[in-house]
Amino acid sequence: MKIVIYLLIIIAMGLIIYNITFLDFTNLFEGRSAVAAIGIMSALCAIVLLLIVQASRKFSNKKR
């Protein structure tokens, strides 16, 4: 499970980098740039959730 979590974090980072290429900083919330911004935010949320899962697994293993 540990490898899967790290793999998903790497995929989310790749999506962030990919979506950064579509950002237009002059019109950040219009057209493709808005979709890219939403994609970046969702990938960041996925990374945070995966880190929470990883931390909870560490605590549960330590408790046993």
Please tell me the predicted confidence (pLDDT) of residue 61.
Answer: 84
- Each of the 64 residues of the chain gets a pLDDT tens digit; together they read 889 999 999 999 999 999 999 999 898 888 899 999 999 999 999 999 999 999 999 998 887 6
Instruction: Provide the token pair at 11.
Output: 């995929």
Please tell me the predicted confidence (pLDDT) of residue 56.
Answer: 94
Structural domain boundaries of the chain? Answer: 2-58
Say which residues have a Cβ less than 8 Å from residue 51's Cβ, sequence separation at least 6: 9
Q: φ, ψ for residue 23 (rounded to 5)?
A: -75, 135
